[in-house]
Structure formats: C-alpha cells, structure tokens
C-alpha cells in the first residue's frame, strides 16, 4: 500500500522517504556492527583468509552487476535536479554513495556470515535481528529492514513507470499520461513483483544471485554504449529535446547502437555461467563468468569505431553542403 502511494505521488516524496530511510539504515548498521564486535574479535575475522579465483571473480561480477544495475535508479532519482547542479558533484555523489554503501553492506554481510558459523544462510533476517537481545532494538531492526524494502520497492515501481512513460512519449511526445494510468501502471508492477517474490521465497538468494548476474548480459552492452556515446562521441553534449523528437537529429532509431547492443549480447554467450544458461568457454574455465568483461570491452570498442566513422561521414556531408 505504501509503495503504491509513494510511487504514485512521485519524485519529491520519494526523495524525502529516501532521506528518512538513510538515517534509519545508518542507525541499524551501527547497532548490528556493534553487536558483531561484541560477539567476536574483529582481528580474528580479518585473519580468516581463503582465496580462489572462481570465488573472487564471482564477487567481482556481483559487485559489477550491483553498480551497473544501479544505473536506472540514478537516472530516475536525479531526473529533476536543478539545472545549475554541478555534473562533477553528481558524479562523485553517485559514485561514492553507491560504492561505499554497497561495499560496506557486503563487508557487513561477510562478517555476519563468519560469526554465524553457518547459521546465517537461509535464516538471514531472523539471525541478524536476533543478534541483539533487547526487544526494543529487535523491533527497530525489523522496522528498518521493512522500511528499507519499502523504499527500494518504491524506486522500482517508480522507475518502471518512468521507463514506460519514456517509451510512450517517444512515440507520442505530446501525449499526457493521466493519474489513473500512472496508478494502474504502478499497481501492475507491484502485483507482478510481489507474485514473483512470493513464488521464489524459498530459494530467493540463489535465484536473486543468478538473476542479477544474468541481467548483466543485457545491462553491460547498454551501459557501454551510453558511456562511449556520451563521453567520446557526443563529448558530453546532449540535445534533450531532440531525444523526444522522432524527426530530430537523433532520428527514430540508432541503428548502430542497436546493432552493437545485439552483437555485445551474442559475444557474451560463450562466457556466461548461470542457472539460466552456461556457455562453453565458461565451463572450460571451471564456472568462472567473464561475460560482463567481454561484453563491456567488445561493445565499447565496436560502438566507438562504428559511431565515430558515421560521425565523420555526417561531418563531411555537411561540409559539402556548405561548399555548394
């Protein structure tokens, strides 16, 4: 109910809820970390060292997928920033925020798993909350977890709506999406996601890990094309109005971008290792998934070469027209 209300009302309320969730989450983090330090010696936890390439590369892939999948959130969350906002400030705020936040959370998860001696897996929430014997603290931790999920799910529902709205406006720039339509889209997204979560609740972590890694297959080429186009082709210049104009300078379809995106996905297939699909090269490497690295580099290089060539052709054509 709260997710639907927050996502339907929109941007400003989501920002406020996000700030509140940050404060609550920080307090919960300090409580849990304090409890871990009380239960064990931090130097002993750090002394436990076991390295394997497969585990290391899996961790790198998960970290990369986390950062890349955070892209849509960044786009939606920063959509209505003031025009005078420094791009440098946005870059460092987003980069450091997502990097520090995710790495600290993952580090905390490693410590909890080590302290639990196997009691954490399959019993995550109950174990973390039960680490503290005080009833009021337990209630607060349950609330912080639930509120955090509400905040993130609100962003998911809001982001889904904004994606649909962007697609709709690309075909009908002058069309206005009514409040009823907005509510219907948000409601549909919440119902679908809730159904998937309920169906997969018993194998959530395993399914979530596989799903996140599989999403990399589609996110990596998209991210590579966006970054190369913005920083190396367009030189950080973008005509926002033309993006919504099918007859503008960007046209209806970026054929080079679409082609490179599809090729990038295909090039990753032999290197994928997931429950959904296993590539031959990944099996030869002992289950190490390098598809994200292959997709990132190959798509970036291919798009740069083709887009730069097309840009030069357009520039020469314009010069010939001016001469005539």
Return the closest-CA partner of residue 222 out of 255, 253, 265, 252. 265
Q: Give Cα 312 distance to the centre of its chain.
A: 34
Say yes or no to pLDDT of 181 above 80. Answer: yes
| Residue 308 placed within a domain | yes
Same domain (yes/no): 20, 116 = yes
| Residue 143 placed within a domain | yes
Say yes or no to pLDDT of 49 above 70. Answer: yes
For the stretch 84-139, pLDDT in tens is 888 788 888 888 888 888 888 888 888 888 888 777 777 778 888 888 888 899 99
Same domain (yes/no): 166, 29 = yes
| Residue 9 placed within a domain | yes
Same domain (yes/no): 171, 305 = no
More confident position, 198 or 261: 261
Same domain (yes/no): 265, 172 = no
* pLDDT for the residue 318: 55
Same domain (yes/no): 7, 84 = yes
Say yes or no to pLDDT of 298 above 90. Answer: yes
Same domain (yes/no): 150, 210 = no
Confidence of residue 312 (pLDDT cuts 50, 70, 90): confident
What integer best gives the mean pLDDT of the chain?
83
Same domain (yes/no): 32, 167 = yes
* pLDDT for the residue 321: 57
Say yes or no to pLDDT of 315 above 80. Answer: no
* pLDDT for the residue 31: 92
* pLDDT for the residue 160: 86
Confidence of residue 262 (pLDDT cuts 50, 70, 90): very high
For the stretch 53-91, pLDDT in tens is 777 877 787 777 777 777 777 777 777 788 788 878 888
Q: State which of 160, 177, 194 marks the end of a domain.
A: 177
More confident position, 282 or 201: 282
Q: State which of 177, 194, 227 marks the end of a domain.
A: 177
Its domain, for residue 163, covers 1-177
Work out the percent of the chain whose per-residue pLDDT is above 70. 94
Same domain (yes/no): 276, 171 = no
Same domain (yes/no): 47, 115 = yes
Q: What total of structural domains would you count in the chain?
A: 2
> For the chain, where are the alpha helices, taking DSSP H only?
2-9, 11-39, 42-47, 53-69, 71-77, 87-116, 124-130, 135-171, 179-199, 204-228, 240-243, 255-268, 280-284, 291-323
| Residue 183 placed within a domain | no
Same domain (yes/no): 15, 81 = yes
Same domain (yes/no): 99, 166 = yes
Say yes or no to pLDDT of 323 above 60. Answer: no
Same domain (yes/no): 223, 166 = no
| Residue 139 placed within a domain | yes
* pLDDT for the residue 300: 96
| Residue 190 placed within a domain | no
Say yes or no to pLDDT of 195 above 80. Answer: yes
Angle, vertex CA 232, rays to CA 87 and CA 309, nearest 5? 155
């Amino acid at each position: 109910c709260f997710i639907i209300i927050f996502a339907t009302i929109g941007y400003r309320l989501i920002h406020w809820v996000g700030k509140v969730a940050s404060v609550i989450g920080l307090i919960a983090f300090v409580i849990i970390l304090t409890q871990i330090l009380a239960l064990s010696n931090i130097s002993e936890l750090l002394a436990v060292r076991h390295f394997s390439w497969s585990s290391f590369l899996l961790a790198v892939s998960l970290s990369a997928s986390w950062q890349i999948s955070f892209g849509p959130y960044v786009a939606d969350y920063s959509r209505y920033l003031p025009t005078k906002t420094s791009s440098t400030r946005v870059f460092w705020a987003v980069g450091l925020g997502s990097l520090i936040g995710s790495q600290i959370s993952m580090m905390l998860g490693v410590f909890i798993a080590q302290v639990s001696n196997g009691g954490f897996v399959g019993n995550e929430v109950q174990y973390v909350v039960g680490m503290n014997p005080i009833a009021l603290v337990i209630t607060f931790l349950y609330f912080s977890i639930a509120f955090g999920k509400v905040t993130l799910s609100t962003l998911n529902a809001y982001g889904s709506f904004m994606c649909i709205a962007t697609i709709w406006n690309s075909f009908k720039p002058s069309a206005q999406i009514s409040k009823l339509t907005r509510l219907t889209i948000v409601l549909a997204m919440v119902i679908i996601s809730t159904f998937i979560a309920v169906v997969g609740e018993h194998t959530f972590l395993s399914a979530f890990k596989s799903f996140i890694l599989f999403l990399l297959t589609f996110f990596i080429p998209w991210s590579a094309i966006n970054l190369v186009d913005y920083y190396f082709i367009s030189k950080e210049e973008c005509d926002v109005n033309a993006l919504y104009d099918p007859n503008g300078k960007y046209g209806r379809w970026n054929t080079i971008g679409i082609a490179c995106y599809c090729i990038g996905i295909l090039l990753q297939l032999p290197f994928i290792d997931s429950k959904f699909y296993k590539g031959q090269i990944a099996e030869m490497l002992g289950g190490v998934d390098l598809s994200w690295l292959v997709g990132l580099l190959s798509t970036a290089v291919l798009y740069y070469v083709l887009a730069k060539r097309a840009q030069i052709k357009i520039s020469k054509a314009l010069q010939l027209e001016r001469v005539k």
